[in-house]
Structure 1
Amino acid sequence: MTRLLIRSGKDPFTPVLAEATLTQDVFNSNSGNFLFQHSVWKALSVDGAELTSNGTLSERMPPEEGDAARVNEFDHFVIPLANAFRPDFESRLERLNELLEGVTVPTTVVGIGAQAAHGQGIESLAGISETVKRFVGLVLDRSASIGVRGEFTKSYLESLGFPSDSIDIIGCPSIFLHGRDFTVNKKVDAIAADSPLALNLTPEVPGIGAFAVAQAERHPNLTYIAQDSHDLRLLLWGTPSPKVQDPLVPVHFDHPMYQGDRIRLFLDTWTWYDFLATQDFAYGTRFHGNVAALLAGTPAMLLAHDSRTLELAEYHRMPFTVMPEFGTDVKAADLYAATDLTEFNAALPEGFDRYTAFLDRNGLDHIWKSGSGQSDFDARVASATFPPPVQPLVSSDGHEIAARLRWLSTNHVQDITRNKQAYQHPYPHPLWSGAGSRHARLQAATSKKISAQNAVIAAQKKQIDALAARIKLVEEFERTSPWGVTKRAFNKFKRLFSRS
């Protein structure tokens, strides 16, 4: 049996409640991560393969002694990644570097990409280049090649000195979930005011708030599909995003889309696909938000605003339009009319062949390889019961509030790891408190600080005890030795003489 360790927040079959997803950061701050993680998981689910999720724990904390040895118990370490070559992911890359130094088994990185703001080039990534060079070097020492998202990422790695033939452009593996012959076609001729629409947004993009409000006002059956941890926190607890001040962005409790129960966040890709299959059209800035629609058979238009999204859209030839800034004049009907899926459908088989050739090159058996055979992946997904989408607290029947109260009644803030509803990592590597909340992180940091202080105190106490023992020896010597007896007699005579 081949044993594969897969970098993923969880496996594709295990349901995790919304509160645990947030506090334990199971989806790594964005539900879109599950699309490529679980697509890779399905691709590698061949007969005789045992796949284990590492919970992405290897990069959350600095590796400890023995962590690399545990990875080496597997036959292959597979690391699906997204836009990891960016400044705010550098600390995680550094921790992965530290871990990989001790890893000896084949290690394959699938779908990694570089990210720069619109209008900026690879020069904007100079600050993280040393970390990236170390990471890619460690990976290539353990694999035949590294799988990147597109030309932008490949040119970046070439500028760091890596040979072209060690870099395979494979796009995002999420696209290939349904295999080589998958196609998407339009369902309706045109978008009407009452059409069911799915909108996805990046809250920090300039003008996105006014854009969102305008779309919601024009289309009463439009639903905002949220994806990140700030969105989930808003839905669960009514807590607004600390990063976005614009009141028009639907990341605030008082926003009309929140109060109108028009926001949904899906905790699993399978329920996400089911919902999007009921929509006529999806559009917005989120790459994986639009890919989810395409995988559900629903036309989608990506509104590209940075190199990360543009690189992938160009490679997969999915419908997109460059939109670094947003306004109220953008019409969904116009976007739908401009959505042509001909090139996307034509490009998918060619991209699929490059993707599977990359897996073959790196010694990874996959379900499309002749003779490998499929496991029971689809059956396991079909038999699982996943949580429903998370809705705003104001949902009419009160079930959202009831769910929050049930969670609170189990004391999750005091000890998330003992909550009966918590997610139990199958591979706790390294030892992890099981929480992603601020409370848990502070608790872990405080415990670590207290342990360090206790070690200092113990060392000081040992020094004090040693000094006390020496003093006791000196006192005993002075009390019993001839020199000590003479010294005391002299001092006594001196005192008597001074009185006289």
Structure 2
Amino acid sequence: MTRLLIRSGKDPFTPVVAESTLTQDVFNSNSGNYLFQHSMWRALSVDGAELVSNSTLSERVPPEPGDAERINDEFDHFVIPMANAFRADFAPRLDRLSELIEGVTIPVTVTGIGAQAPHGQGIEAMAPVNDTVKRFVGLVLDRSASIGVRGEFTRSYLLSLGFPDEAIDVIGCPSLFLHGGGFRVDKPADALTVDSPLALNLTPEVPGIGAFATAQAQRHPNLTYIGQDGHDLRMLLWGVPFPHVHDPLVPVHLQHPLYQQDRIRLFLDTWPWYDFMATQHFAYGTRFHGNVAGLLGGIPAHLLAHDSRTLELAEYHRMPYTVMPQLSADLRVEELYDKTDMDGFNAELPRGFDRFTAFLDRNGLQHIWTPGNGRGDFDQRLDAATFPPPVHPLVAADGHEIASRLQWLRDGMVLDITRHPQAYHQPYEHPVWSGAGSRHARLHATVREQATQISELTARLEMLERGSPYIRLRRAGRRLRDTFRRS
């Protein structure tokens, strides 16, 4: 049995409700992370392999003494699927992960990692994280044959830091290889209509995104906005608007038409997400994995690239894209669809898949596409799993969202009522309830009965101690020893 430790928020089969996903940050602040994590999970689920999720704890908090030793003792390989980790706000996590890897002696393989720079800036913009990246990549390459990066931008960045070209494999994002090398996507129709079902994804901070999103929603009544990050989930669950986006045209608050019309969804697992996408005609927007979800659901997608991390992936995979650092309300989805040509993507995917599997082979990772390896129990476990439905706005017509929130609050109240900030604290000792059938009376009767039993057992122990010949003998021995000492 081979045991692999996989960097992932959770395994692909365990359902986690929306409230826990948010409060425990199971999805690492973005549901798009599941796409590449769980794609790697499927790829490595060969017969005789056991995969274990590390819940990304190694990077959330500093490693504890013994963490690395436990990994060395319990696992044969540490696999670390990543995304745009070479960026300033991720540097503390990368440092903590480096601290852990320093003590790891088993092979460590990193897949799909990338650098992020603003649109129009080159690798010089990466200077603030150079030391962090050097340390991390150096430690990884000491424990692997190569590192798998997203695209040419990241490759150029690592070369600028002095890493050898032969140690860098450009493999893109593993999410797109979920279905293997024979996967392809074709257009379901020659053209879109006003009523076509559309899946829109957005990055709220991109300039012009509000006017663009609102115009799309007005023109297309069957458009659904698919949210992905923690702020989206918090807004859907509790009605909390994004704290840092103030454009009223961006769908990040309760008054936006997309919210009021129940046209926002957030999926807590990839498989229901793909199923929903299969019912749409087109996916488009600024989020790379939002568009990948569309492709894996079998529909065409078009990326509106606004920074280096999304652009390098689109270029590598030949995903249809338009460079658009600023969006406009005048952009028509019909025009995007017309110029979305899937031929390049379909032609490139088998070649990219071959490079991806060659990378796995190079780093000693057995995968399901090697003849004879088998596919483990991945599909059986997936078929047996039951996943929570997508999260809707609170205004959903049948009231199920509000009922779900109230149930969560009620359960929390029952379990933690005394520690609630508004809990009532009695100013004096509360009298015992006297009703024979009351819960409080039964509780106090049980406590009194247990106290009586404890007193009886204590008395018996004291009696046994006084009457035991062995105890009397030990006492006599102590007295004799004390007498000799005094003499």
Structure 2-normalised TM-score?
A: 0.85
Q: Deviations over 1:221-278 (max 9, x none)?
A: 0000000000000000000011211111101111111011000000000000000000
Query: What is aligned with 2:474?
Result: none
Q: 1:27 maps to which residue?
A: 27
Specify whether residues 305 and 10 from structure 1 end up closer, same or farther in structure 2 by C-alpha distance, changes over 3 A only. same
Q: What corresponds to 2:64 in structure 1? A: 64
- In the other structure, the counterpart of 2:403 is 402
Give 1:281 deviation, angstroms.
Answer: 0.5
Residue deviations 1:386-434 (CA, integer Å, cap 9, x gap):
0000000000011001111111112279869x9xxxxxxxxxxxxxxxx
Separation in 2 of the partners of 1:178 and 1:115?
27
What does residue range 105-144 of structure 1 map to in structure 2 within 5 Å?
Answer: 105-144=106-145
Match of 1:223 in 2: 224
- The SS at the match of 1:327 is coil
Q: Distance in 1 between matches of 2:306 and 2:177?
A: 24
Question: Which residue does the alignment assign to 2:14?
Answer: 14
User: Which residue does the alignment assign to 1:93?
Assistant: 94
**Between 407-416 and 192-201, the greater mean CA deviation after superposition:** 407-416
Structure 2 residue 288 is the aligned partner of structure 1 residue 283: no
SS at match of 1:271: helix
The 2-side partners of 1:170 and 1:414 are apart by: 48
3-state DSSP of counterpart to 2:411: coil
- Residue 193 of structure 1 corresponds to 194
Secondary structure, aligned partner of 1:282: strand
Aligned to 1:163: 164
Take 1:125 and 1:166, find their aligned partners in 2: how far apart are those partners?
20
Query: Which secondary structure state, in structure 1, belongs to the residue aligned with residue 51 of structure 2?
Result: strand
User: Secondary structure in 2 aligned to 1:395?
Assistant: coil
SS of residue paired to 1:374: coil
Question: How far apart in 2 are the matches of 1:114 and 1:214?
Answer: 32
In structure 1, give the amino acid aligned to 2:245. Answer: V
Q: Counterpart of 1:63 in structure 2: which amino acid?
A: P
The CA deviation at 1:381 is: 1.1
In structure 2, distance between residues paired with 1:77 and 1:410: 37
Distance in 2 separating the partners of 1:414 and 1:321 = 51
Q: Distance in 2 between matches of 1:19 and 1:412?
A: 14
CA deviation profile, 1:269-316 (whole Å, cap 9, x unmatched):
000000000001110000000000000101100000000000000000
Q: Does 1:270 align with 2:276?
A: no
Segments ≥4 residues shifted beyond 4 Å: 412-416
Equivalent in the alignment of 1:232: 233
Distance in 1 separating the partners of 2:233 and 2:70: 33
1:48 maps to: 48
Question: What is the number of residues matched between the two proteins?
Answer: 417
Structure 2 residue 36 is matched with structure 1 residue 36: yes
SS of 2:303's partner is strand
1:382 offset after TM fit, Å? Answer: 1.6
**1:167/1:415 CA distance change after superposition, 3 Å:** farther
Residues 290-329 of structure 1: pairs in structure 2 closer than 5 A = 290-329=291-330
The change in CA–CA distance for 1:173 and 1:415 in structure 2 (over 3 A counts) is farther
Q: 2: CA distance between counterparts of 1:382 and 1:334?
A: 39
Residue 189 of structure 1: CA displacement?
Answer: 1.1
Per the TM alignment, residue 69 of structure 1 is displaced from its structure 2 partner at its CA by 1.2
- SS of residue paired to 1:29: coil
Hey, what's the Cα distance between the residues in 2 that align with 1:256 and 1:99? 46
The residue aligned with 2:358 is 357
Q: What residue is the counterpart of 2:452 in the other structure?
A: none
SS of the residue 1:294 aligns to: helix
Flag the 1:68–1:412 CA change in 2: closer, same or farther, 3 A. Answer: farther
Q: Which has the higher contact order (CA 8 A, sep 6+)?
A: 1
How big is each residue's C-alpha offset from its partner over 1:128-182, in whole Å with a ceiling of 9 and x where there is no partner? Answer: 0000000000000000000000000000000000000000000000000000100
Q: Quick one: distance in 2 between partners of 1:238 and 1:358?
A: 44
- What per-residue deviation string (whole Å, max 9, x for no partner) do you get for residues 85-138 of structure 1? 000100000100111111111000000000001000010010100000000000
Counterpart for residue 421 of structure 1: none
SS in 2 for 1:410: helix
Residue 385 of structure 1: CA displacement? 0.6
Q: Does 1:172 align with 2:173?
A: yes
Map Cα deviations across residues 432-455 of structure 1 (whole Å, 9 max, x no partner): xxxxxxxxxxxxxxxxxxxxxxxx
- Which digits, 9 at most, give the CA deviation of each residue in 1:316-335, with x for residues without a partner? 00100100001110000000
Q: Kindly state the Cα deviation for residue 29 of structure 1 after the two structures are TM-superposed.
A: 0.3
CA distance in 2, matches of 1:149, 1:229: 24
Partner of 1:496: none
What amino acid is the match of 1:38?
Answer: H
Residue in 2 aligned with 1:491? none
- After superposition, the C-alpha distances for 1:2-40 in whole angstroms (9 at most, x for unaligned) are 000000000000000000000000000000000000000
Give TM-score scaled by structure 1 length: 0.82
Given residue 145 of structure 1, which amino acid in structure 2 is its aligned partner? S
Q: Cα distance 1:383–1:324, how it changes in 2: closer, same or farther (>3 A)? A: same
SS at match of 1:303: strand
Counterparts in 2 of 1:384-399, with a 5 A limit? 384-399=385-400
- Rounded Cα–Cα distance in structure 2 between residues aligned with 1:409 and 1:16: 18
Code of the aligned partner of 1:50: E
Instruction: Give the 3-state SS of the residue equivalent to 1:188 in structure 2.
Output: coil
Look up the equivalent residue of 1:268 and give its one-letter code. D
Structure 2 distance, partners of 1:165, 1:232, is 42
Gaps (5+ residues) in structure 2?
420-487
Q: Which moved more, 1:135-144 or 1:368-377?
A: 368-377
Distance 1:182 1:69 in 2: 40
- Report the secondary structure of 1:365's partner residue: coil
Structure-2 separation of matches of 1:379 and 1:341: 32
Letter in 1 for 2:17: L
Q: Distance in 2 between matches of 1:5 and 1:311?
A: 28
